[in-house]
Amino acid sequence: MNIVKWQRPTLANWSGFGRLSDLRDEIDRLFDSPLSELTKTSDLLAGWTPALDVYEDKDNYTVKAELPGMKKEDIEVSLHEGVLSISGERKSETEKEDTEVFRAERFVGRFQRTVTLPASVAADKVKAAYKDGVLTITLPKTEEAKPKQIDVAVN
Amino acid sequence: MKALFKKDSAPPAPAPAETIRYVMPDVNVYENKEGYVIEADMPGVSKDGLEITLANNEITLIGHQTDAVVPGTALYRQRQGLGYRRVFELDPVVDPNRITARMHQGVLFLSLPKSEAVKPRKIVVSE
């Protein structure tokens, strides 16, 4: 199992700067925040790395990724030489005209995660479903990747 | 800081019958002329898994993940599989009777309109 490291987003596509430009406000916010808030991992350094789960049973690999608030057409799923790649872009839903922002924790921008599958899968049978902000990808194993029962004759 | 968010915290709720562990959803909070908007990321939560309660001028957002359990063994796990919980103190200008919520692809959109009485009004000056 091999999870490829996230790529650091460039400042150009990181939307936080415009919104938190007032340093004093930001410091005020820090002092107002309870401790649980401060221990949250900062998106400032990490970009957006959607949480992933990978499961295996005898027939399938199943990958689940948390991608809340996406449009189906903004999610790209590809499979190339046993590496599954999930990428896309989340856009902001809210008109920012005449609004004051108190909190902006939800990440906006591009993300990518890749998973190297441990065994071969039938690329033409891969299915993906997106529901309640969770992307579920089912990857059926090829026949040769499935565990086989071998009967041993005992004389 | 404005009054709405003097307190924004999610202390673990006193355990009910079975202990549910909660994490804080990421939120965006905006204010405009009409009122406040709260957006909360709750992936895996459907409309049915949502509980919003209003008490003592505090609004509590709770979301329970309802997505199907996957058969097999987990090779890699990052998703918390927990509930989401976050509490906000409301600005007194919010009209509690007009709060509306909708859920879209794991994101909760909460609209908290200000009561008509506090909205700025243009006074027409007569001759």
Partners of A70 on chain B (C-beta within 8 Å) are 105
Higher pLDDT, B35 or A3: B35
Mean pLDDT of chain A: 78
Partners of A96 on chain B (C-beta within 8 Å) are 30
Mean pLDDT of chain B: 84
Partners of B91 on chain A (C-beta within 8 Å) are none
Cβ pairs A/B, distance under 8 A:
145
Q: Confidence band (pLDDT; 50, 70, 90) for A43?
A: very low
Sign of CA dihedral A31, A33, A35, A40: negative
Q: Confidence band (pLDDT; 50, 70, 90) for A92?
A: confident
Helix, strand or coil for residue A62? Answer: strand
Chain B, nearest residue to A35 by Cα: B9
pLDDT score recorded for residue A5:
63
Nearest to B77 among A53, A94, A103 (CB): A53
Q: How many CB atoms lie within 10 A of CB B35?
A: 20
B28, A94: Cβ pair inside 8 Å? yes
Q: What percent of chain B lies above the pLDDT cut of 70?
A: 84
Q: Which ranges of B1-127 would DSSP assign to H, the alpha helix?
A: none
pLDDT score recorded for residue A41:
46
In the block, which residue shows the tokens 């004389």? A155
d(CA A19, CA A1): 38
Torsion from C-alpha of B38, B44, B48, B52, nearest 10 degrees: -30
Nearest to B106 among A3, A60, A68 (CB): A68
d(CA B120, CA A93): 26
- Yes or no: say if B83 and B20 are a contact pair by the CB < 8 Å rule: yes
The verdict on B28 touching A (C-beta cutoff 8 Å) is yes
The interface residues of chain B toward chain A in range 46-75, judged by CB-CB distance below 8 A, are: 46, 66-67, 70-75
For A100, A155, B37, the CA distances from A95, given in Å and listed in that order, are 11, 77, 11
d(CA B82, CA B118): 39
pLDDT score recorded for residue A140:
94
Q: How many CB atoms lie within 10 A of CB A86?
A: 21
d(CA A153, CA A119): 29
Q: List, for residues B40-77, the tens digit of each pLDDT value.
A: 999 999 999 999 999 988 999 999 988 778 888 888 88
Chain A, nearest residue to B10 by Cα: A36
A102, B31: Cβ pair inside 8 Å? yes
Q: Show the tokens assigned to A68.
A: 């809340």
pLDDT at B10 over 70: no
Q: What is the DSSP string of A77-146?
A: EEEETTEEEEEEEE---S--TT-EEEEE-S--EEEEEEEE-SS-B-GGG-EEEEETTEEEEEEEBPGGGS
B43, A133: Cβ pair inside 8 Å? yes
Chain A, nearest residue to B49 by Cα: A132
pLDDT at A111 over 60: yes
- Yes or no: say if B86 and B61 are a contact pair by the CB < 8 Å rule: yes
